[in-house]
Amino acid sequence: MVLLFFISSCSVSEKERAYIDKINRLEQTFDSVSEKYLTIDTAKLNITYEVINRNLSRLSKIDTILNDSVKIYTGLQKSFKRFIREHSLIIKEIDYSKNQLKALKKDIGKWKISDENMEKYYNVELGAVGSLINKMGYNEQIIKYQMQSFDVFNDHIESLIKRFEDK
């Protein structure tokens, strides 16, 4: 009799199962976006950032004819600087959100949470994960575009620097 009570208390209601399924889908989406974000080559990014800083220092000593090039290069520098500054925070947010989703599933499955609280907690996590997904997607697209721009633009910048320094 005690075993039957224990088994019935451990089963999950249909509504709880529905929320667990919603959380599973949210986790899958989140994992997909975070995996894509985490493929950004941060080692290359840091090297690129240092090259930009070094070249900007050299450009500042050259005639103002290169003003447009300096502006473009400065824009790249700012994007890299922001990404580098925010990257470790986003990694922490990813880990925290993943743990929150796992904990919510566990809480729904283990303890009886009222329907109202299930909805409330799910919506809180949905908002937090949705915001983080948007931030990762935006940062990933911007930084990949900026890395491509650097790859195209840097040789030109370095040849201009060399030409002016050799004068």
Digit-coded pLDDT (tens) for 74-88 = 889 999 999 999 999
Residue 6 lies in a domain: no
Query: Which candidate, 53, 88, 96, places its Cα nearest to that of 74?
Result: 53
pLDDT per residue as tens digits for the range 94-105: 999 999 999 998
Domain of 120 in residue numbering reads as: 15-165
Residue 71 lies in a domain: yes
Number of compact structural domains in the chain: 1
Residue 2 lies in a domain: no
2 pLDDT band, cuts 50/70/90, is very low
Residue 1 lies in a domain: no
Give the span between the Cα atoms of 164 and 103, in whole angstroms.
60
Residue 152 lies in a domain: yes
Residue 46 lies in a domain: yes
Q: CA neighbours within 13 Å on the CB side: how many for 17?
A: 5
Give the span between the Cα atoms of 21 and 105, in whole angstroms.
9
Residue 85 lies in a domain: yes
Give the span between the Cα atoms of 165 and 167, in whole angstroms.
6
Mean pLDDT of 56-62: 76
Residue 95 lies in a domain: yes
Give the span between the Cα atoms of 158 and 167, in whole angstroms.
14
